[in-house]
Structure 1
Amino acid sequence: MTEIAPARQKKLFNQVLLLALFTVFYNLIEGLISIYFGLKDETLTLFGFGADSFVETISAIGVTHMIYRIQRNPDSHKGSFEVTALKITGWCFYVLALILLVSAVYNVIEGHQPTSTLAGVIIALISILSMWLLVYLKIKLGKELNSDPVIADARCNLVCIYMSVILLVSSALWWLFKIPYIDAIGSLGLVYFSIQEGREAHQKAKGIECCSC
């Protein structure tokens, strides 16, 4: 591996830390907006997407702590804070998956449909572009730092892009063609990824490094 000058390494880690903080605040704002319009437009997929953003906020806080820890001591291991954040994240994903599954079944039985999904289309497009740029920058910095944890975190952000694509497809199909139950089907896609992320968070809390994405 190429040695990095200490000053350059510090600068790169500061940039990674800023990206991690940006991820925290971005997910928080995205969650608030998505849940608001999800409730307003009665679209389950957008509501679930917003709830997922809040869970991702908890995960991003843990990642921010990890970056700070590695910057101070590259050879250190997960502390109690990171392990607790991973466990909370994992259980939150499981609870979210259960809520979305029950809600999707209820909406199908009741024949409930969204009043509008235009907000979902707009939010999904913004999210895809933002997350793609974030993943690109994190991988670029991670490679320059020769840091596997930074690169792994970047690749796990791809799940956010996958979820955004699900939101975009389900919202666009309803907005353009009013396809029945497409909103419920879209929420089931979020259920799948929530379960995957929940399992991954618990595995990481146990020290099993993985990235199902």
Structure 2
Amino acid sequence: MARPFSIQRRLEPSSGRAGQLRQGIIIEAVALLWMVIEAGVALSSGISSRSVSLEGFGIDSIIELIAGGILLWRLWVEVGGGSGEVVAQAERRASWVTAISLFALAAYILIDSAISLFTHSRPTVSWWGLGIASAAALIMPLLWQSKLRIARRIGSAALKADAACSVTCAYMSLTLLLGLLLNAIFGWWWADPLAALLLIYFIVREGREAWHAARTGEACGCGCDDD
């Protein structure tokens, strides 16, 4: 496990740091825009095709969108000269909201997947779902690298954790893509709820890390050791 950053770490102000913060804001804004697209496509295609895995992926995107919005505000606060205490409080509140939302999502997916398996609910093929899962598998690793680079330069625990969560989202998209492909190619209807159940592993891991950050004021990066 990588040594966590302190969310109240203080660095001497400099024009270089201000530039890094502005880059972080741009990257986070791009990530938020993608999350809006990802959530919209995943949820709409998931509901229309009755795909549990797509619905879960879409709801997770909304949760990440909320957390990312607070993180964007956190970067703006520092750019504007806000105090470290205000930034720390914002990050901890974001962690509480994220943790509770993720645990609730895991419970929802568990119940919905169990019902689908028990009733033999057969989702239809979703080409939009396949497209968004494929795009996420390509885009999220790029966002991870960009966020991680800026997080290390400015010493932001929240941005480092958000970067690692982008990797988790990439793993989730690959799991989702596998389930959708098995259903589309072979007609294995059970692959969709099974993929949804596999998503719970990543969601609960994210939730535990967010809970840890909320309690201790530190972030460990969604269980990802990147050092």
How far the C-alpha of 1:74 sits from its partner, in A, is 9.6
Q: How does 1:164-179 map to 2 (within 5 A)?
A: 164-179=173-188
How far the C-alpha of 1:25 sits from its partner, in A, is 2.6
Q: Which residue of 2 aligns with 1:60?
A: 68
Q: Which residue of 2 aligns with 1:20?
A: 28
Determine which of 94, 110, 116 is the counterpart of 1:107. 116
What whole-Å deviation, never above 9, does each CA across 1:107-157 have from its counterpart, x for those lacking one? 0110011111322221111111111211122233344x2535344432232
Q: Does 1:137 align with 2:146?
A: yes
Q: Which residue of 2 aligns with 1:6?
A: 14
How far the C-alpha of 1:161 sits from its partner, in A, is 0.6
How far apart, CA to CA, are the structure 2 residues paired with 1:148 and 1:81?
13
Q: Which residue of 2 aligns with 1:31?
A: 39
**Percentage identity across aligned positions?**
26
Q: Which moved more, 1:152-161 or 1:104-113?
A: 152-161
How far apart, CA to CA, are the structure 2 residues paired with 1:156 and 1:131?
9
How far apart, CA to CA, are the structure 1 residues paired with 2:151 and 2:118?
47
How far apart, CA to CA, are the structure 2 residues paired with 1:192 and 1:99?
13
How far apart, CA to CA, are the structure 2 residues paired with 1:142 and 1:104?
36
Ranges in structure 1 where 5+ consecutive residues have no aligned partner:
none
**Is the CA contact (8 Å cut-off) linking 2:210 and 2:219 kept in structure 1?**
no
Q: Which moved more, 1:34-43 or 1:6-15?
A: 6-15
Ranges in structure 2 where 5+ consecutive residues have no aligned partner:
1-10
How far apart, CA to CA, are the structure 1 residues paired with 2:182 and 2:203?
22
Q: Which moved more, 1:183-192 or 1:77-86?
A: 77-86
What whole-Å deviation, never above 9, does each CA across 1:50-93 have from its counterpart, x for those lacking one? 01100111111222233334445698244433322211111111
What amino acid maps onto 1:170 in structure 2?
A: G
Q: Which residue of 1 aligns with 2:92?
A: 83
Q: Which residue of 1 aligns with 2:167?
A: 158
- CA-based RMSD of the aligned residues comes to 2.3
Q: Which residue of 2 aligns with 1:40?
A: 48
**Is the CA contact (8 Å cut-off) linking 1:117 and 1:172 kept in structure 2?**
no
TM-score (norm 2): 0.83
TM-score (norm 1): 0.88
**Is the CA contact (8 Å cut-off) linking 1:117 and 1:174 kept in structure 2?**
no
The number of equivalent residue pairs is 210
What amino acid maps onto 1:209 in structure 2?
A: A
How far apart, CA to CA, are the structure 2 residues paired with 1:18 and 1:35?
26
Structure 2 residue matching 1:157: 3-state secondary structure: helix
Q: Which moved more, 1:75-84 or 1:188-197?
A: 75-84
How far the C-alpha of 1:46 sits from its partner, in A, is 0.7
